[in-house]
Amino acid sequence: MNKKTTGMRGSSCAVFIALMAASVILPGRIFAADAIDTLFSYTSFSGLAACSPETVPAASAEETYPLGVFDVKPDKIYYLSPSQVDMSQVPPAPAAGSAVDKEDLAGVLRWQAERTEAQCAAANAQASATYDEFFGEVSPFGNPAPAEVENIFKKVRTDTGGIVYSQKEKYKRPRPFLRDPAITPCLGRENGYSYPSGHSATARVFGLILSDLVPASASRFMAYADQAALNRVIGGVHHPSDIEAGKNLGDATYKALKQNRSFNTDMETLRRNLKH
């Protein structure tokens, strides 16, 4: 229904009510029949139903915001399907209104009050969850990484994304800014579900891969992975428990990857590309 039609219906409703009231308090000769005829000349008027309050549904998240990068099911599997990963390491999403859930929202609001423009910029710089966005500064392959290295990390990201997607669809937890109007993300508002965090899971898997390749730098790689996860809370698009679940899912995913022959072959390719 367009704005013009809506306005006509609202006007006819107001006129109808006024005329009916007049019929009660005024003599019949003043309440002329032609006034009623005028009322019914509105082409949009369809009886008393026109006077019912019209409910305009709020725009759904699907109509308002784009999907997050891990809220679309991948169309290909390279190493692992979700069924090959031990999901028992990922606890259920906190129940809405539970103590953990309330603390989650409070945690997002605390970061919102404290975050800086630089922190928001750093979070925005990792929006696509690519290897170079997460680890370009400390990459043992150089920056940018060689094409064959990038391709392997893209495959890992795709499979991790499919595993994350399966859990998001299972728990269907809304993002924090859709639950509390006081939360204003400094990242772009993303549709899709919040639990677990795909960025956290992917950064975790990438960090574990790098730690296996260069054990001496493991603590540095994992610190970068942890910061990438935290950036999603700082940015206001994930709850703290979302990123913890993402880390757990990343651990489970990497454990399964190490049992995969094709992935282990690709790990040897990564080793050959390390800069010494």
CA distance linking residue 234 with residue 237, whole number of Å:
8
Task: Give residue 218's pLDDT.
Answer: 98
92-106 tens-digit pLDDT: 999 999 999 999 999
Q: What is the pTM of this model?
A: 0.77
The mean pLDDT of the chain is 83
Taking the C-alpha atoms of 81, 82, 86 and 92 in order, what is their torsion angle to the nearest 10 degrees?
170
Kindly report which listed range (17-31, 51-65, 92-106, 148-162) carries the lowest average pLDDT score.
Answer: 17-31
10 Å CB burial of residue 52 (0-12, 13-18, 19+) is: exposed
70-91 tens-digit pLDDT: 999 999 999 999 999 999 999 9
CA distance linking residue 129 with residue 201, whole number of Å:
10
Task: Give residue 6's pLDDT.
Answer: 42
**How far from 69 is each of 28, 66, 160, CA to CA, in Å?**
68, 9, 12
Q: 191 — phi, psi (to 5°)?
A: -80, 180
The yes-or-no verdict on residue 62 having pLDDT over 60 is no
